[in-house]
Amino acid sequence: MQEQSGRERAYVYLRDRVLSEPAFTGTFLNEGELASQIGVSRTPVREALLLLVSEGLIEMVRGRGAYVPPMSGRQIGELMDLRGVLERHAAEKAIDAGNVPIAAMTATLESQEALAAGAAEDHARTFIDLDGTFHQELIDSAGSELLSRTYAGLRARQLRAGLSALFGAPDRKRQVCTEHRAIVDALASGNLAAASAQIDAHLDVTMRILLRG
């Protein structure tokens, strides 16, 4: 039981703290250092790494260990395509059911706007965490547990992509807030076509920044 708990702790730490940081892209991970940082032995760290290998987030290189590969242009495109499919579907379900979480999404957006006045390096992680919350709130409003779990499973990739995009364009935080506001306004109007168009526009801007970088 303790080993399972240690593996879970290691998995969450690696997924949400290490793999999401652009600085680790293209580097090899040290199991011993990670074990010390997390407060577990090397065994649960190794098990967590193997889980992440199975999810395609890291690679094991013979003689070198765990490698964090950069996201390819194809992977970035596939991530944005999948996000678009899931978010447009959630928007349709929420609008049809009259269950669009306008209040929750607006509150999250206002928290982002409060951070947008800072320099790009200030509060970047908090801003991107809020970004994930904003989109997950829309997904969860569809009322599908499988949809919510599927979207949440993209978290590590989204955090890494979001942070990279944040530093890949000047004043990106303010732009994100403007794009999120357009999504909220379209959802509030009940216009699915407009909401879908704003979701696509937001994802397209992010993808172009990432591919340019």
What's the CATH number where 170 sits? Answer: 1.20.120.530
Q: Are residues 208 and 121 in the same domain?
A: yes
Domain count, the chain: 2
Q: Are residues 114 and 202 in the same domain?
A: yes
Q: What is the pLDDT of residue 80?
A: 97
Q: Are residues 10 and 88 in the same domain?
A: no
The whole domain housing 174 covers 73-212
Q: What is the pLDDT of residue 4?
A: 59
Q: What is the pLDDT of residue 2?
A: 44
Tokens at 21, concatenated: 């940081």
Distance CA 25, CA 51 (A): 18
**Torsion-angle region of 69 (φ positive above 0: left; ψ -120 to 50: alpha; else: beta):** beta
Q: What is the pLDDT of residue 1?
A: 39
Q: Are residues 197 and 102 in the same domain?
A: yes
Q: Are residues 23 and 125 in the same domain?
A: no
Q: Are residues 135 and 167 in the same domain?
A: yes
Give the mean pLDDT per block of 10 residues along the chain (213 residues).
73 87 89 94 94 91 93 94 98 97 98 81 83 97 97 90 88 95 98 98 96 82
Q: What is the pLDDT of residue 128?
A: 92
